[in-house]
Amino acid sequence: MAFERLLERAELFGMSLTNRIVMTPLQTRAGDEDGHVTPELALWHERRAHPGPGLVVVQQTFAWPAIKLARGLALWDDCFLPGMKRLADLLHASGSRAFLQLGGSGSRREGTKGIMAPSPVPGSWNMKVPREMSIEEMERFTLLYAEAGERAMRAGFDGFSLQGTAGKFLAQFLSPHSNRRSDEFGGSAENRVRFPRMVIRAIRKRTRPDFPLLFRINASDFMEGGLSLAQGIEQARLLTEDGCCALLFGGGGQERLWYGAPPYMMEDAPLLDAARRYREALPDVPLVFGGKTHDPFLAESILRDGVADFIAMMRPLLADPDYILKLTENRPEDIRACACCMNCQTWERRPRLAGRGIACTVNPEVFFPLSAQERGRETAELAKLHERDGEGNVPAERSLSVLVAGGGLAGLKTAQLLARQGHQVRLHERAASLGGQWAVAAASAGHERYRTLLPCLERAAREAGVEILLRSRVDRALVERERPDLVIAATGALPRRLDVDCPCGEENGPTRHFGMDVLRGSALAEQELSGRNIVVVGGRYIGIEAACLLAERGAKVSLVERDNLAAGTVPRIRSLLFLRLEKAGVRLYPHSSLFRICSRHVEIAHGGGLFFLDADDVVMAVGTVPCHPLQKELAGTGIRLREVGDCKGIGDALDAMLDAVELAEELRHETR
């Protein structure tokens, strides 16, 4: 078997596990407003249960109201026990062992009221200064943790986990960066671990001796003034003395969150060397290792090398609920791989996700709200009858002929979903290949994880019965010839042009390019750039990526942005983008506007005056505008037209995929 170690039975805490995969906690935002388990959350676990991970650590659950996140799970009262028991029973029925993670946010709490932490040190999460906790409050919270741990045991969970990484509540005590107390809970590494040890001992007193603890350890903060590897190892050793039975490996702290869930531009398994240090220091402590171990061949090699005993996975199982099934059937090539785009971490800034759990670019059906009728079904029955989350079919009662114009993410996903419903779908793409703007992004260095999505989407569309025609432009004549019941425009967007004063004339000034063309390699690809002055206008993803790419090739690059740099980008990616800009030597001009393009320079409004920047080339990356030619083309034909993706409204990849899911769901109800 190709994945013999990964899929073999194993023992942990004397419990038999069906494999060495541990599904780690993900803040799904799928509880109800009060913190109860919902049918959507139960369905989420049911879809990943056949076969399931050897151990499932259910998402961070809150032991007192003051620290609860929106739509997070709660366990500060017995009223939450019935839902928790149903969840534990569901996991046991699938053959998985079930742990419950207890945690809190500390200074990472949403909002500003009542934020508490070990010390009044603002974190990068919200830059609010928390109030320092008193010892009396720590004792109170210890009791609340213990009561929640006892409830987890009564609910039928096999063990519990404590969250001690990602800059969360307990992790803030462990790090000298966030814990600057001068009492017995601060100072030395031993003092800083004192409060987590108190919590462990308190839970131990209220639970069975065989109710094990998995501690999610912060290996290191990986920053000056933060928790070092040596200190982390010392703290881990002390935790094992109080009954910590195994370590779930993490790292990065609040200021380096990208180590906990590494995004696309980071190497696979960036914490592997740190894990080797822990293994050498604590050889007898079971180690669960994760952090971009999505590739099953990499996971297998880590186990074979003895670096870890178990592999932690979360995002791979979010992206493909049948990940483990495909491994057991030796079909790793069919896995719908996580793109590491981090859109699963953007729940707070997406109003369209209100009322549902988090979303996934690769698997946008996940946590789609259930109807009132569906919520009344048994979870197992619902999973079989209506597999929105994954690759199931939801047939429509009336089949339509559908023409999809555009083969980017929105067009491909819409075509696939409608064909799965039984509609007759033809997709026309005017270019020679599929993918649209996603293909451009995927071609850039560091975006290797993006490159698996398009082949996966194309294969799924063709298997669903979609007819794909390349180099085929949709116009009025084609539509009138085919006479479909429905036309879906997925025609994307065009680069936005700036109307800028250019007294020397465009032909005499710096050469102008679009950021998208730089990334796709059709602009500035062949020139020698060493010493060339290039001004990039626009400081979001495309502008930053283009600026870094050009600077790394030797150009002298200035990046001009009228707002904050990287505004609207995913926080965990934003910090890495700034580090890359710094390393590449890009000169930054935030809160500055392009005023005039002259023969050998540009003028920008900067710092209350005009500022001159030498420029041989100007790269425009100031966003896009919807491209919807079919609105005018099809006027008067009587053929129904719908839009998805950027032609409907500018968004990112997840927005495009959600457009597809929402339109397919709307049409499903129309045709029943």
DSSP letter at 106 equals G
pLDDT at res. 390: 58
pLDDT digits (tens, 9 = 90+) for 416-471: 999 999 999 999 999 999 999 999 999 888 899 999 999 999 999 999 999 999 99
Locus of tokens 């010390």: 119
Which of helix, strand or coil describes residue 20?
Answer: coil
Q: Compute how many other C-beta atoms are within 10 angstroms of the C-beta atom of residue 149.
A: 28
Sheet of 609-614: strand order equals: 593-597, 601-606, 609-614
Task: Give the separation between CA 539 and CA 521, rounded to whole angstroms.
Answer: 19
Q: Exposed e or buried b for every residue in 327-354, given b needs 16+ CB within 10 A?
A: beeeeeebbbbbbbbbbbbbbeebeebe
> In DSSP terms, which residues pair with 625 in a beta bridge?
494
pLDDT at res. 111: 47
Q: Locate 616 and state its tokens.
A: 């041989």
Assign residue 95 a region: left if phi > 0, alpha if psi is -120 to 50, beta otherwise? left
Asked if 248 contacts 164 with a C-beta cutoff of 8 angstroms, the reply is: no
Which of helix, strand or coil describes residue 10?
Answer: strand
Question: Maximum Cα–Cα distance for the chain, whole Å?
Answer: 81
pLDDT at res. 336: 95
Angle between helices 81-93 and 135-154 (to 10 degrees): 50
Task: Give the separation between CA 640 and CA 212, rounded to whole angstroms.
Answer: 59
pLDDT at res. 410: 98
Asked if 619 contacts 548 with a C-beta cutoff of 8 angstroms, the reply is: no
DSSP letter at 601 equals E
**What are the distances in angstroms from CA 543 to CA 534, 595, 651?**
12, 18, 16
Give the distance from CA 284 to its chain's centroid.
33
Which H or E run includes 238? helix 229-241
Question: Can the peptide bond before residue 51 be classed as cis, meaning omega within 30 degrees of 0?
Answer: yes
pLDDT at res. 376: 64
Using only the alpha carbons of the chain, give its radius of gyration.
26
Evaluated on CA atoms 221, 6, 359, 630, the torsion sign reads positive
* Residue (of 61, 90, 91) closest to 75 by Cα position: 61
Q: Which residues of the chain carry a pLDDT beneath 70?
A: 1, 67, 105-114, 124-127, 371-394, 671-672
Q: Which residues contact 105 (CB under 8 A, 6 or more apart)?
A: 67, 69, 168, 169
Amino acid (one-letter) located at 309: D
pLDDT at res. 464: 95
**What are the distances in angstroms from CA 119 to CA 67, 115, 175, 243, 253?**
16, 11, 11, 27, 15
Evaluated on CA atoms 538, 543, 548, 550, the torsion sign reads negative
Q: Locate 398 and state its tokens.
A: 């009336």
Task: Give the separation between CA 20 and CA 6, rounded to whole angstroms.
Answer: 5
Assign residue 645 a region: left if phi > 0, alpha if psi is -120 to 50, beta otherwise? left
Locus of tokens 């803040």: 27
pLDDT at res. 381: 60
Domains of the chain: 4-124+134-343 (3.20.20.70), 393-494+626-670 (3.40.50.720), 497-622 (3.50.50.60)
pLDDT at res. 394: 67
**What are the distances in angstroms from CA 495 to CA 178, 184, 212, 236, 631?**
43, 58, 56, 52, 19
**What are the distances in angstroms from CA 638 to CA 400, 634, 635, 666?**
15, 8, 7, 20
Task: Give the separation between CA 431 and CA 436, rounded to whole angstroms.
Answer: 9
